Structure 1
Amino acid sequence: MPDPFGRAIRDFHRGEQDEPLLQRDGDLTLDHPIERFYFSSFTVNGEESEWLASRLDGPLLDMGAGAGRHSLYFQERFETVAVEVSDHLVETMRERGVADARRGDMFALREQFGRGRFRSALAIGTQLGLAQSMQGLRKFLGDLAFVTTPDGTAVVDCYDPDHEETEELLGYRDDPTPGLAHRVMHFEYEGDVSDVLLFRLFAPDRLREAAVGTGWTVSEVRYGDDGPHYRAALEKS
């Protein structure tokens, strides 16, 4: 299966990227900012990074870890396991020094890890939307509760469809249901075309609704400086 996304990031890391990684929705096209999203160093030196680090402890599961930006920081402090569905990204993380980078699917956690394996979990990159539905989100949260300890914590992120700037996102699709929307797009790199990606966008209240009965409570929501993007801290209820 073509993996233009993972291959472009690997090529960037190796200094071999000669063409842009493109995000497409029909005739609309954007250059995906690889360096800014995946290769800027994560350090705890401000309010937002301090907030994130304060909610995580080891062992940590970094889901959809990309090029290992967060794992490289946290593995120096406690055990960190980084998972990615892309072999190219797993290879990239290992080359960058991620100690435990492995191929894994954040939407199949019970098949990969035992009960209570992790003290905390992280999913930064809006891949939470790949749950695709409220039912899929509930299942993911239930599985995440299974592989984390009774006092576990997690941080996830998403785009808020109720924010006025969300409809400017490439691939945005409206939904008549309050607090929900879609985002549809694919990636292209050096002639390779990915499968179409369907993201479900959940407003914070929808995330809270999905968490009911899964073992999680949304303890805090924080918006960044970039409009509709938010991060949510989860705690065991």
Structure 2
Amino acid sequence: MTSGPSTQDRPRPIFGNRRGPFIPTLIVVGALVAGFLFFAGIYADVLWFDQLGYLDVFVKQNVTQAAIFVVAAVIMGATVYASLRVAYGARPIYAPDTDVQDNLSRYQETIEPVRKLAMIGIPVLLGVFAGTAASSQWQQVLLFFNQVPYGATDPEFGLDYTFYMITLPFLGFLVGFMISVVLVAGIAGLLTHYLYRGIRLEEKGIFTSTAARVHIAVAAAAFLILQA
């Protein structure tokens, strides 16, 4: 009776030792190419606007977009992070007593190794989305900060027409953005409370801890104030 081939006789993959550095190198090269194309496009725009004599317009537009992006991203990211931290910090600690709670415990064990990374990565990702969406309103922001009186007033309220054409849309943009922040942060906190059993589904109904009720009430009150 002959024995099977030993592990030393088995063929080894040719590229097995090269897989490690190959993927990071490919990512770095891709990032460099994308960065080159991005900055090449910006440099071409700078040359074009400078040739036309409107370089200051190009600079003001891009600086405004960058400032709006940073402010919106920080507000969204910080609010979502605070909501996640509050919900996690107020989690109840006890042993699960139902199949649903036992399943949640398994989810918690799965998430725990990456929990700290997720609590930072999720707010950052949502902040990038919010900043990108808000920066598209750069024209409305510039109009608001550079508005001049129209010279005629509304006969009903005595307000200059500029208020309705510029100020009111800008305020609507701010309120709409803050409503999005409150909703996203509230949903993030609600899911965290549920995951860590601050909100539980029981036979008698839905149980919510005191911390979860306060958290939901604050988010709901902020939403209603913004709506008003």
The two structures share one fold, judged by TM-score above 0.5: no
More helix by share: 2
> Which entry has the higher C-alpha Rg, 1 or 2?
2
More strand by share: 1
